[in-house]
Structure 1
Amino acid sequence: MHFRRRAVAAAVAGLLAATALASGTQQAVGQPAAQTGWHKGTPPLSTPWTDDVSPTNALPEYPRPQLTRKKWQNLNGLWEFAPAATGEAPPFGKTLAEQVLVPYPIESALSGVQRHEDRMWYRRTFTVPSSWKGQRLLLHFGAVDYDAKVWVNGRQVATHRGGYDGFDVDVTNVLKRSGPQELIVWAEDLTDETFQPIGKQREVSDHGIFYQGSSGIWRTVWMEPVATSSIDRLQLTPDLPSSSLKITADTSGPAGLDVEASAYDGSKLVGRVSGKADTELELPIKNPKLWSPDSPFLYTLKVKLIDRGKTQDEVGSYSGMRSVGKVKGADGKLRLALNGKILFNLSTLDQGFWPDGLNTAPTDEALAFDLVQHKKLGFNTVRKHIKVEPDRWYYHADQLGLMVWQDMPAAKPDPIPAGPWRDQFKAELREMVDEHKSFTSITTWIPFNEGWGEWDLAETGRIADSVKAQDPSRLVNAHSGMNCCDSLGDSGRGDMIDHHAYLGPATSTPAGDRVAVDGEHGGFGLKTTDHMWFGDGFAYEMTPDQATLTRRYVENQRDVLRSANSCGISGSVYTQITDVEGELNGFFTYDRQIPKMDFAQVKAVNTAIIKGADGTGTSGPQLPPGTPGADGIHFYPLDGNADDVVGTNDATLQNGAVFAPGKTGEAVALNGSNQFIDTGAQLLDTSGNYSATAWVKLNKADGSFQTVVSQDGDRDSAFFLQYSGADQRFAMSFPGQRALAPTKPNPDQWYHLTGVRDAAKGELRLYVDGELAATKSACSLDSTSTGHAVIGRAKFGGNSVDYLDGTVDQVHFFDRALDDAEVRALYASGR
């Protein structure tokens, strides 16, 4: 995906010149001649940095922190702009009617255009400094969304596809000897009309979980002079066992040149290595200072490219010494580790969108703001959610000491069709890893999210293996949210078992050589008048005020710690750092103007998680044996009445439910709309072991959920003995976790269902007709449910749902986990 300058025509010598020095310094922003007719748009919300943006200071910082040179020129600023028609010739020598502020996407207020175009022209001129004479000239494009073509002085010099990776081109051979040089860029962005990787972007925001798209140039455009032989990229990989930094200098120009790399602790030289360019060298660093969130130490690097004793190129860089891996805790569970020690990865979901600049932060200070707040709130990790940021974002993360889980931008949530789009997705994924694998902060790659764009489960596994082979130094999370949404399931590959659970947290457990993590949870919301993109919005659970929002966050995070210690999750991702458009579940409003929680309480509980989730674990639950007996602690034969013939909690038929012929005697027929049976009490202590059994006959077995037995919680049922419409099979379930029968049931046929919660073993079991049908590892927090036990419906999201369309008979509740023999005997008895 990177447009390497080796592909350009041979050089025309003697056109440019400069001395290439390390340690990049800021250059003035270059401007085209015309600067009239532009004005900043009015965003729906303004950030603290909106008014700081102008044509003279559009992201002026050096854009490539890991490969710096002194001489460069920024080409951000005002460009001419016009919509482009399909097949239209480039507007050589023509003044375009509008102006746009680069590098802000055209849909953004900061661009001055503030509308979408499928296709567009950008035009400006630039002048090559006379002091650069004798050198080659490179043009760099940080990112153009999505397809791009570039012309200089009427000659096409580059084409590029991909909205999140950079490209560069050597334009030496098309430059005029002096005077203004004309630069034209064509861009096409069809957003969600194709299967291009787009992440959360949509052409028109849906007021839901997707956001306003960003088209055209959205990262810095700049140019620099280099020698005929020059360094293109540094590949940097710390290797703690050998106390060395592995370094490869990828170069252009004649082969066989030498490289000298030096590492510094401040001004002190601590290591040096010499060898051949384009080969991996080991730069020794004795007794290295390790990079970590508590001590994000970075070594300064200087790298020279040498030809027969003469320096051809010299660049500056940096790197941290750290290792990423997995180790077993004292409790025997596999956990995430940094530098060989268990470290819980406490993260938020970071979308990287801005109300004034959309995909592009208004200023570098703004770009760093969200990361700085992560540290202030006590987080040590950030999940960059299906977006790739400019290099300076990772530079800030490196300096601050934040571990980064880096997502691949997803295609839209339909399977990517067979053909070129699948190859394109894999090519862009490979380029994303190549461009970013030297940043110290990145610890994990995530190819897929919740099945969006996923087309084949086996291929998902192969892609995860490919990323691991490309970068063995980091972890691979093959599929964040493998239990959710459009996911095709668990490929079994990668280093993580990642479940999403709203409100959560997830309670998955490590297995084999994979750790368990909660890839998304939380999502508590609060409305903030005059600081909402649409004037309103939503969250997974809304709260009425800051105090309640803070309390719910703290409660949820305490559950994260419990899940870490009892279940073994070693990472969690809270949704999210800021509100975004219609989503109101941030620590900050979307404009970054208003903090929405008591941050002292947030930091305290976050600190407790990182300190307390150390892998020592907790002893298994000490559970009572339960009440003996074949009928359990409550039994409803449903023979003409709803009496509890074992306990004292007689039930009542609701909304016109009627008695009908049953499996044994009579039963209760339910209409699937609003009818159910209410026991009127909490029958089970769901913090421990329990079982529920029933005979059931479905009237239909389609895509609708139907619950046979459950018990109400505050928001969701504590458990669901159910027919899962999503799977079209019987299940014993917790929210987001299902022990599923292997086959689809037939309507109008009686089945005996038993759902078992075995807290001691940390599992759910489903029995169908007396035989074990499924077991699901479910290390749950098992919070006590104080609601009523009900027959024929469930509760989810605070609402009554999943009404049974069928007939139910012989319902038992047990305060123990039934074993195989007990279930078999109960089935045989017909009760």
Structure 2
Amino acid sequence: MPRQRWWAAVAAIATAVLGLAVPAASADPAPQWHRLTPPLSTPWTDQVSPDNALPEYPRPQLTRDRWQNLNGVWEFAAAKAGDAAPVGKSLPERILVPYPVESALSGIMRHETQMWYRRTFTVPSNWFVGRGQRLLLHFQAVDYDATIIVNGRTVARHTGGYDAFSVDVTDALTTARDQEIVVGVSDPNDQGGQPLGKQRAPGDGIFYTPTSGIWQTVWMEPVAPQHIDRLDVTPDLATSSVSVNALVGGPVRQRVEVFAYDHGRLVGRAAGEANQPVKLFVAHPHPWSPDDPFLYDLRVRLSGGDEAGSYFGMRSISVGKTEDGKQRMLLNGRFVMQLGPLDQGFWPDGIYTAPTDAALKFDLEQEKALGFNMVRKHIKVEPDRWYYYADKLGLMVWQDMPAMKDDVEATPAAQVNFESELHRMIDGHRSFPSIVAWVPFNEGWGDYDVGRIADEVKAWDPSRLVNAESGVNCCRSEPDSGRGDIYDDHDYTGPGTPVQTGNRAAVDGEFGGLGYKVDGHQFDPAGSFAYEMEPDSATLTRRYGELQQRLLLVAQRCGVSAGVYTQTTDVEKEVNGFLTYDRRVKKMDFTAARAANLAVIKGATGKPVAGPAVSPGTPGMDGIAAYPFDENTGTVAKDIVGGHDATLLNGASWTAGESGSALATNGSQQFADTGASLLNTEGNYSVAAWVKFNQLGDGFQTALSQDGGDHSGFYLQYSGGDHRLAFSFVGQRALASDAPEAGRWYHLVGVRDAAAGTIKLYVDGRLAATKSVCLADAAPGHTVIGRGQYGGNPVDFLDGAVDQAHLYDRALSDTEVAALYQSDRK
């Protein structure tokens, strides 16, 4: 082929396929896009090409027949503040849109805070744009601040990394065949105050590699001058109806007709005004649920000529009382235990963007295969097609709002922006039936005015539940506001034992985090970590089953409505997934895990299970063991009641007691061991002692405890994390209100009432604190004096003294505690 004809053919192909201008034959060859090598490749990495860059229709809830995808190879350049827009100028690099600039799939694979994108496009002649039709340019998501320039004219600026936006570019078009788009993007990432989820530069620990720029599909479509911008579809199962609000701009009032179909059969129709809810009745509605994710098709027509397709599911979500008297989350009017994984939505090749549509669907398919009926989308917003697949597969979704930075207090301006983006996120996703709960905050990350925000979210969308702060017991969270529909507890490895109180449902919003390293499939082998590391797949599977059995007990006895296990896949340095980060290896036996999950859903949804029978215990004030510590010599402390003498270990010695002599320990390995498991920690019991601390600070010091397999069943202690005296279970503490003093004797009593589901702390004969704890851990190890146990290791050694220790196999009353205090005083 002659050289001139060859270049003409290349130009024609490039224009048709990529929409790019091709240099003249005499110019140097144009830069090319090349896929770079990611830290790990997924099964879909090699499928990605300029011809296969997420070509699917991106907006399944508002569909029209005519559209054009603008994903593919764009020109690219790094930018600096104040740079002039490169209008009409070729840029030096090539990037594959819509993969973020930091990803291997983008072809750039470096971090940029400011950048330019450029390409050309051609408007199909049969779209009649400018002749009765308008042209909309759609960006599904750009992180973070985007300026859109068409043919040298700035047509829009959008701030927000997670919501879609559209621009009418009709008036910026020229008569030329090729139209130019330039997109300028600025993304301060973790140096700004904007919502950013888990993005950090550099990624580390529980935070991950940041992303910038265009990261979801770019596309265009022709529309009528007055057209549907959004469809808000809200089911009302109680009235067999669905509300359809077609949001339309423009000066002319529009009439709207709506039609509902069941597999092509018309089952309902209604008409009304645009921008107003139109109630559409559906006779004998077929409810949507995880077991039966039935969806109706929807068609909406405007009197002005626009028409769009959509779909909806008939379901309700609420909180209501079940037969055991507890408030639980109800799906379609009945309690269904919600069980699912924490889903981060990160990829080693595309980072924030799944490499293909099949990959996007894959994680949800695996979650469904594991028997889950719910998924918590963790502080990220996914492309619309992800929610479409959740709708189709039958997975309830808790949708988090991407958090602001966790260790910086949000400025007033950042708060205004956060609420604006939160509102837009809800508006953009309010019609997906799979979404059953909004989660504005997580573990105190950037939280503020939690109660007010929860109330506002509920006002914006009263049809769904509001989880005001997931992990309100954790980390930097503000004190529980008491607002919203859900009380959410985090506990690793857990699961925790949140108690349902008031009108809110209780949930285990995060637990688990069991890890296993798979050689050859780790993002950072040297930095890999988990909350509890297992040596092999079999052990991981067994431990997962044990955690799920515990969750079932928590659900049955504590009234917990949901559990969220961490997590779907490994993510960068975290190796606590069901699958490796590259999605190539199943890390545990999926058949066994599915059986464990289904057992929780079925067992929790059945009739309530009573707690263990509680023995009345040994009457009288002697108890089952008592240690006066009056020997003042030797290495044995006599048990004057039960005969389980305690041995002083590692140099533990004697000192002056509150009465007579006392056990002395120096805070470093010294303690006394009774040699026996004296208490049934799953039943009623009480422990008492006079305790003196030589010094107090941020460390924990335990006077009495009983060893378990991993941690003590209880701790009578000083809590350095709170600077308070406490009677504690792991993750739960009954705390005195005042800080103690070093060098002073305190009479401490801890009481466990299994029937009431409480732990109580008494200080100097008076009730100091009560904490609701519905489920206790078995602790078959030795009862010890002067330390605790955690992670299988001795911890929290006491630097001080213990005198007149008593143990009871029953819950002492207030009167008995006061009497014991008086009888043990000098």
Equivalent-residue separation in structure 2 for 1:186 and 1:655 (angstroms):
68
What is the distance in 2 between the residues matched to 1:732 and 1:246?
Answer: 52
2:283 alignment partner, one of 281, 286, 289 = 286
Matches within 5 A, 1:544-583: 544-583=535-574
Q: Residue 389 of structure 1 aligns with which residue?
A: 382
Q: Check conservation: 2:31, 2:93, Cα contact below 8 A.
A: no
| Contact 2:31 2:92 (8 Å CA) reproduced | no
Give 1:33's aligned amino acid: A
From 526, 532, 544, the counterpart of 2:522: 532
TM-aligned CA deviation for residue 652 of structure 1:
2.7
What residue identity is the alignment partner of 1:556? Answer: L
Partner residue, 1:272: 269
Q: Does 1:830 align with 2:813?
A: no
SS class of match (1:105): coil
Would you say 1:219 and 2:209 are equivalent positions? no
For 1:153-302, what aligned pairs fall within 5 Å after superposition? 153-206=151-204, 208-302=205-299
Aligned to 1:63, what secondary structure does the other structure show? coil
Q: Which runs of 4+ in 1 moved over 4 A?
A: none
Distance in 2 between residues matched to 1:378 and 1:570, nearest whole Å? 17
| Alpha-carbon separation, structure 2, partners of 1:675 and 1:429 | 53
Shift of 1:775: 0.9
**Partner residue, 2:670:** 675
* Aligned: 1:628 with 2:616: no
Match of 2:13 in 1: none
Partner in structure 1 of residue 11 of structure 2: none
Give the structure 2 partner of residue 689 of structure 1.
Answer: 684
Gaps of 5+ in 2: 1-15, 23-29
Matching residue within 21, 30, 41 for 1:33: 21
Aligned mates of 2:186, 2:669 — CA distance in 1: 51
Which amino acid counterpart does residue 521 of structure 1 have in structure 2?
Answer: F
Contact 2:570/2:578 (<8 A) preserved: yes
Shift of 1:566: 1.2
Name the structure 1 match of 2:42: 47
Cα deviation code 1:394-448 (max 9, x no counterpart) = 0000000110011111112225333211111111111111110100000011111
Equivalent of 2:481 in 477, 491, 508: 491
Aligned match of 2:77: 82
Question: Which letter does structure 1 place at the counterpart of 2:198?
Answer: K
Quote the Cα distance in structure 2 between the aligned partners of 1:217 and 1:293. 33
Please list, as runs of the form range in 1=range in 2, the aligned pairs for 1:197-596 lying within 5 A after superposition: 197-206=195-204, 208-307=205-304, 312-455=305-448, 459-536=449-526, 537-596=528-587
**Which stretch has the larger CA shift, 643-652 or 542-551?**
643-652
Q: 2:633 matched to 1:642?
A: no
Aligned equivalents of 2:735, 2:157: Cα separation in 1 = 50
- Match of 1:610, as an amino acid? I
- Contact kept in structure 2, 1:342 and 1:615, CA below 8 Å: no
CA deviation after TM superposition for structure 1 residue 334, in Å: 1.6
Q: Which amino acid aligns with 2:156?
A: A
Tell me if the contact between 1:501 and 1:735 (Cα under 8 Å) persists in the aligned partners. no
Query: Where do 1:728-747 residues align within 5 Å?
Result: 728-747=723-742
How does 1:770-789 map onto structure 2 within 5 Å? 770-780=765-775, 782-789=776-783
In structure 2, what is the equivalent of residue 14 of structure 1? none
Kindly state the Cα deviation for residue 186 of structure 1 after the two structures are TM-superposed: 1.5
In the alignment, residue 435 of structure 2 is paired with which amino acid? I
- The code of the aligned residue for 2:808 comes to F
The CA deviation string for residues 2-53 of structure 1, in whole angstroms up to 9 with x for no partner, is xxxxxxxxxxxxxxxxxxxxxxxxxx97542357422111111111111110
- Tell me: CA distance 1:223–1:492, structure 2 relative to 1, closer, same or farther (3 Å): same
**2:235 aligned partner, one-letter code:** P
Partner residue, 1:7: none
Query: Within 5 Å, which residues of 2 pair with 1:101-116?
Result: 101-116=96-111
Question: Partners of 2:258 and 2:226 in 1: how far apart?
Answer: 16
Identify the residue that residue 149 of structure 2 maps to in structure 1.
151
Q: Which moved more, 1:414-423 or 1:290-299?
A: 414-423
Task: State the alpha-carbon separation in 2 of the partners of residues 560 and 78 from structure 1.
Answer: 49
Give, in whole Å, the separation in 1 of the partners of 2:698 and 2:159.
Answer: 40
Instruction: Decide whether the 8 Å contact of 1:323 with 1:339 is kept in 2.
Output: yes
* The one of 605, 610, 632 aligned to 1:614: 605
> Secondary structure of the residue that 1:454 maps to in structure 2?
coil
1:601: which partner in 2? Answer: 592
Which amino acid letter does the alignment assign opposite residue 479 of structure 2?
G
The range that moved more, 409-418 or 154-163, is 409-418
TM-score, normalised with respect to structure 1? 0.94
* AA at the equivalent of 1:359: Y
Letter of the 1:815 partner, please give it. D
| In structure 1, distance between residues paired with 2:51 and 2:165 | 24
2:288 aligns to what SS in structure 1? Answer: coil
Distance 1:33-1:671 versus aligned 2 partners, 3 A rule: farther
Write the distance in 1 (CA, Å) between the matches of 2:797 and 2:80.
54
SS in 1 for 2:371: coil
Query: Shift of residue 642 of structure 1?
Result: 2.4
Deviation at 1:565, TM superposition (A): 1.0
Q: CA deviation at 1:509?
A: 2.1
> Residues of 2 paired with 1:642 and 1:237: CA distance?
70
Matched positions, count: 795
Letter in 2 for 1:224: E
Q: How big is each residue's C-alpha offset from its partner over 1:243-293, in whole Å with a ceiling of 9 and x where there is no partner?
A: 111010001222311001100001110111111100011011111111111
Kept after mapping to 1: 8 A contact 2:119/2:181: yes
**Per-residue deviation, residues 296-336 of structure 1 (Å, max 9, x unmatched):** 110000001114xxxx2000000000100123222222211
Range with greater deviation from structure 2 (623-632 or 134-143)? 623-632
The more displaced of 503-512 and 522-531 is 503-512
One-letter amino acid matched to 1:568: G
Deviation of 1:798 (Å):
2.7
Aligned mate of 2:711, from 716, 719, 730: 716
Q: Give 3-state SS (helix, strand or coil) of 1:557's partner.
A: helix
Matches within 5 A, 1:690-705: 690-705=685-700
Assess if the C-alpha contact under 8 Å between 1:195 and 1:416 holds in 2: no
Deviations 1:772-810 (A, max 9, x none): 111111111x34212222222222223332222332222
1:801 to 795, 799, 820: 795
Deviations 1:672-700 (A, max 9, x none): 33333332322211121111112122233
Moved more, 765-774 or 33-42: 33-42
Q: Check 1:827–1:810 CA distance in 2 against 1; reply closer, same or farther (3 A cut).
A: same
Distance 1:465-1:29 versus aligned 2 partners, 3 A rule = farther
- Deviation by residue 1:729-783 (Cα, 9 ceiling, x = unmatched): 1121111111111121222222111111111111111111111111111111x34
Q: Say which SS state the counterpart of residue 490 (structure 2) adopts.
A: strand
Distance in 1 separating the partners of 2:419 and 2:796: 39
Aligned-partner Cα distance in 2 for 1:516–1:348: 17
Q: How far off is 1:643 after superposition?
A: 2.5
For the pair 1:765 / 2:755, whether they are aligned, the reply is: no
Contact 1:627-1:815 at 8 Å conserved across structures = yes
SS at match of 2:231: strand
Q: Distance in 2 between matches of 1:453 and 1:508?
A: 24
Alpha-carbon distance, 1:124 to partner: 1.3
Is the 1:691–1:815 Cα contact (8 Å) retained in structure 2?
yes
Distance 1:790 1:538 in 2: 32
**What's the CA shift for 1:658?**
2.9
2:405 and 2:786 map into 1 onto residues whose CA distance is: 36
Q: Is the 8 A contact 2:318 2:464 kept in 1?
A: yes
- For the residue of structure 2 that corresponds to 1:247, the secondary structure is strand
Specify the SS of the correspondent of 2:578. Answer: coil
How far apart are 1:620 and its partner, in Å?
3.9
d(CA) in 1 for partners of 2:372 and 2:127? 45
SS of the aligned residue for 1:64 comes to coil
Alpha-carbon separation, structure 1, partners of 2:677 and 2:17: 69
Structure 1 counterpart SS, 2:556: helix
SS at match of 2:358: helix
